[in-house]
Amino acid sequence: MEWVVKLETKNGWGEVETIEVGRLARRPTGLSAEEFGLTLTEGKKLLGELGRLILQTQMEEFITCARVCGDCLKLRPLRDRRTRKVQTLFGTITVDAPRIRVCSCRAGSGFVDVSQSPLSELLPDRCTPELRRLQAELGARHSYREAARILERFLHCGSVNHATMRNRTHRIADDLEAAVPSSSEPDLDLSTDIAMAIDGAHIRAAHGYQSRHIDVTVGKN
């Protein structure tokens, strides 16, 4: 038996395209219990390919719309063509990220010919907000190394080290703190406030020397 997973895209101007995402196959006889249903590895691979196709086709339409001049409705010229890598829940995906020139209709209006990068304005840290929020939530509940292992185990977001988990957790905390209106903050003595980061590690015993493993938890304020 074989399954073919396809993605049908329909852009804003009515064009329809069908793209093959992936194929799954199972032998008709002699199946083992491990071969029933969709495995985690197959699901991660399909979701990774699906996420790549959706993001790449979405970026193509997004860039085309961003090129339209708001004054004369003509397409603005490209300064260059380049690619950028965007981190998502379903993998690190390479997308086209060209820079766009100022429209020629504004050339005589005192505008400086400064290029615009729509992708940099939309995702300045080249990471989707959903991935940042999930990393921050796991980083707050677990050690940073353990949070990175959980993400890598169940999602196709690729290898993430503990430093990235820590930095993004702190960044989300800073964003939340900055979003709180100053008028709603209680009167606190800031000199007594303590901010602490906690991380942990599992140290295995050296073979032939020790028989006990050690769990280490470290805090830093």
Say if 69 falls within a structural domain: no
Lowest mean pLDDT among 42-46, 134-138, 194-198, 211-215: 194-198
Say if 86 falls within a structural domain: no
Say if 151 falls within a structural domain: yes
Q: Token pair 């379903």 is at which residue?
A: 90
CA distance 19 to 219: 49
| Residues in CB range of 144: below 8 A, 6 or more apart | 162, 163, 165, 166, 169, 199
Q: What confidence score (pLDDT) does residue 68 get?
A: 92
* Confidence tier at 219 by pLDDT (50, 70, 90): low
Name which of 53, 129, 124 is nearest 93 in CA terms. Answer: 53
Tell me, yes or no, if the pTM score tops 0.75. Answer: no
Say if 152 falls within a structural domain: yes
Q: What confidence score (pLDDT) does residue 168 get?
A: 83
- As a whole number, the mean pLDDT across the chain is 82
Say if 169 falls within a structural domain: yes
Q: Flag whether pLDDT at 170 surpasses 60.
A: yes
Domain total for the chain? Answer: 1
Q: Flag whether pLDDT at 188 surpasses 90.
A: no
- Using CA atoms, how far residue 105 sits from 22, 65, 98, 165, in Å, is 46, 17, 20, 46
Q: What is the pLDDT of residues 174-187, one digit of tens each?
A: 887 787 766 555 55
Q: What confidence score (pLDDT) does residue 165 get?
A: 84
Q: What's the mean pLDDT in 164-175?
A: 83
Say if 154 falls within a structural domain: yes
CA angle at 94 for the pair 69 and 170, rounded to the nearest 5°: 95
Say if 170 falls within a structural domain: yes
Q: Flag whether pLDDT at 49 surpasses 90.
A: yes
CA distance 177 to 149: 28
Q: What is the pLDDT of residues 84-127, one digit of tens each?
A: 999 999 989 999 999 998 888 876 655 566 778 888 888 888 88
Say if 140 falls within a structural domain: yes
Name which of 107, 170, 178, 118 is nearest 144 in CA terms. Answer: 170
CA distance 135 to 157: 11
By residue range, what is the domain housing residue 175?
Answer: 128-179+198-203
